[in-house]
């Protein structure tokens, strides 16, 4: 089995399907490792579905402070919050 295939299978095993608030996660499909803690799980006003996850990032590479368009989902410092779908995360 190739190294790429083994890495994909490892990621699939750790996919964040049963997330809990406070879990440490790694954002996948990013050029650099991006880690953070789950701060929100559920629907968001700007997109369909209930598989959205608000993550408080360890570094200031995020897009918000836990609020989007005036609606607060969680609280963090500016540029430390990001919202992604569960498919974009793996448990760290």
Would you list the domain boundaries of the chain?
23-91
pLDDT bracket for residue 30 (50, 70, 90) = confident
CATH topology of domain 23-91: SH3 type barrels. (2.30.30)
The yes-or-no verdict on residue 2 having pLDDT over 90 is: no
Q: What token pair was written down for 78?
A: 């500016």
The span from the CA of 2 to the CA of 8, in Å, is 10
* Choice between 22 and 30, residue whose per-residue pLDDT is larger: 22
């Amino acid at each position: 089995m190739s190294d790429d295939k083994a890495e994909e299978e490892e990621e699939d095993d750790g996919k964040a399907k049963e997330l809990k608030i406070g879990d440490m996660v790694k954002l996948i499909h990013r050029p650099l490792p991006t880690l953070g803690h789950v701060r929100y799980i559920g629907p968001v006003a700007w997109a369909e579905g209930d598989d959205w996850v608000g993550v408080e990032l360890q570094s200031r590479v995020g897009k918000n402070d836990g609020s989007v368009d005036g609606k607060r989902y969680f609280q963090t410092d500016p540029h430390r919050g990001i919202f992604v779908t569960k498919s974009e995360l793996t448990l760290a």
